[in-house]
Amino acid sequence: MKTGVLLVNLGTPDSTEVGDVRKYLREFLSDKRVIDIPAISRWMLVNLIIAPFRAPKSAAEYKRLFTERGSPLKYYTEDLLEPLRGMLGADYAVEYAMRYQSPSIQLGLDKLRAQHVGKIHVIPLFPQYASASTGSVIDKVMEITKDWQIIPEIKFTSQFLEEDKFLQVIVNNGKKWMAKTDYDHFVFSYHGLPERQILKGSVGKQCQLGTCCHQFHDRNRYCYRAQCYQTTRLLAGKLGIPEEKYTVCFQSRLGRDPWIKPYTDHVLEELPASGKKKVLAFSPAFVSDCLETTVEVGETYKEDFIKAGGEQWDLVESLNDDPLWIECLADLVRRG
């Protein structure tokens, strides 16, 4: 029997229309792993405050991102399928899904089930594990399959930040930029999380939201913040960037509760004053170009950096459909 492979990315609105963006925000932010507060409070926050007021602004941002093919996050994920099928051969059935909106995880699993697969390997396309991303995908897959009469063996790849080919694609892309400009500083910006989510996942009070992330070991292997620092150390080592020339920071915070620090928007405002006016930014938490990379880091942060006195702000592109990235995915599947 074939092995089924399901690639799962975060998701995207079906279009840039305000109604579609509002629908996406409601599904995304109603996830109990994304906004981890009591259900009634979450419903009121999302449906009465965030979705109605944020949707028009987000729709305008998505219009800056979408191309003739639609959302890059979606079409770059879809573009992985045929090359990956070719690498894996006839013993594998490969499909893709989005955690939120379409194509759904339900549809992806149904497609694999229709091909009579003997086992299923789910790969959430998030290099670093977080409850709000990878954990949510695992939760949804288990919710769906628990009602099947026959549940096949199901395997999850919960993180792949240390995979050499994953790192090498980012390094290759970074070196292309570094060959053209002598940058003063390098910023590694990751999607943020509320501090409470990091602390809730801490084993034996290991996490102190400080220098505990400067080492990576069994006790903090699934701490999102520690994984981000480890990813950066590995990339900086391969790129030859000394520690004093880079900053790890976190973007895209929502609400008033404290999120993991330092905040990217604060960091970029401080850099020019210290003489760091040419900056190259990396977004190693994302494998596909999306709103958080192309628009937030690549455009909005660039504008803010220039206003603060900076001269040049460039963004290293995501892995997208790079052949080496597809080889990395094939390696993860075969190893499973």
In the prediction, which pLDDT does 73 show? 98
In the prediction, which pLDDT does 77 show? 98
DSSP state of 101: S
In the prediction, which pLDDT does 255 show? 84
In the prediction, which pLDDT does 203 show? 78
pLDDT in tens, 228-269: 999 999 999 999 999 999 999 999 998 889 999 999 999 999
Q: Which helix (H) or strand (E) holds 11?
A: strand 3-11
Enter the tokens of residue 159: 């993180």
Residues in the chain: 336
Q: Which is nearest to 328 in space by CA: 84, 11, 58? A: 84
Q: How far apart are the first and last CA of the chain?
A: 15
CB 139 within 8 A of CB 36: no
Full DSSP string of 171-195? HHHHHHHHTT---SEEEEEEE--BH
In the prediction, which pLDDT does 202 show? 85
Pairing of strands 3-11, 119-124: parallel
> What CA–CA distances, in Å, run from 243 to 197, 209, 290, 322?
27, 19, 28, 28
Mean pLDDT for each consecutive 10-residue tract of the chain (336 residues)?
97 98 98 97 96 96 97 98 98 98 98 96 98 98 96 97 98 98 98 95 81 91 96 98 98 92 97 97 98 98 98 98 98 94
CB 316 within 8 A of CB 297: no
CB 148 within 8 A of CB 33: no
pTM score: 0.96
In the prediction, which pLDDT does 207 show? 81
